[in-house]
């Protein structure tokens, strides 16, 4: 079946996204940065964010924005199509972000293009969409 990933590719892409969540939530910025191509494009405008071009710019913005936040990102239900060295992936997601004055829980999707590099699969494009955002005051 055309587009169906080999198990090795499927597993590597799933591990890439698992590392994305773990490294983001533990604020391991140096290793998180390595999950993206240097010329990545990340669009969070559909969920109220910005369009960032370039790995340094994007990861710098996120690390500054979340420096004082507690976060938990969960992803599941991957839909992965691989054509050669490019994969189109949609992940269902839930995230929790707690800062000093508010907390939010979001539900939506990551839409990604991943590319196979000499160093393994990397995220080249990402769009974050949220279907539901629940806001509340500072948790106890």
Instruction: Break the chain into its structural domains and give their ranges.
Output: 7-137
> Measuring CA to CA, which residue among 28, 139, 133 is closest to residue 20?
28
Number of residues written out for the chain: 140
| CA gap 52, 61 in Å, rounded | 9
How far apart are alpha carbons 47 and 132 in whole angstroms? 9
Is beta strand 120-137 parallel, antiparallel or unpaired with respect to 36-43? parallel
Would you state the pLDDT for residue 2?
Answer: 58
Structure tokens at 105: 């829980």
pLDDT value of residue 63: 97
Contact by Cβ (8 Å): 80, 89: yes
Fold of 7-137: Nuclear Transport Factor 2; Chain: A, (3.10.450)
Give the mean pLDDT per block of 10 residues along the chain (140 residues). Answer: 81 98 98 98 94 97 95 97 97 96 94 98 97 75
Contact in structure between 111 and 41 (CB atoms under 8 Å): no
Strand partners, 70: 98
Residue 6 DSSP symbol:
P
- Has this prediction a pTM greater than 0.85? yes
């Amino acid at each position: 079946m055309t587009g169906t990933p080999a198990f090795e590719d499927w597993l590597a892409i799933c591990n890439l996204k698992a590392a994305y969540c773990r490294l983001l939530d533990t604020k391991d910025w140096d290793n998180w940065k390595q999950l993206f191509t240097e010329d990545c494009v990340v669009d969070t405008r559909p969920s109220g964010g910005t369009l960032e071009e370039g790995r340094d710019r994007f990861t710098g913005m996120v690390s500054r924005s979340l420096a004082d936040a507690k976060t938990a990102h969960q992803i599941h239900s991957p839909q992965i199509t691989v054509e050669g060295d490019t994969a189109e992936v949609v992940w269902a997601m839930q995230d929790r972000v707690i800062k000093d004055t508010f907390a939010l829980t979001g539900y939506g999707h990551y839409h990604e293009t991943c590319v196979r590099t000499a160093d393994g699969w990397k995220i080249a494009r990402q769009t974050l969409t949220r279907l539901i955002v629940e806001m509340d005051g500072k948790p106890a």
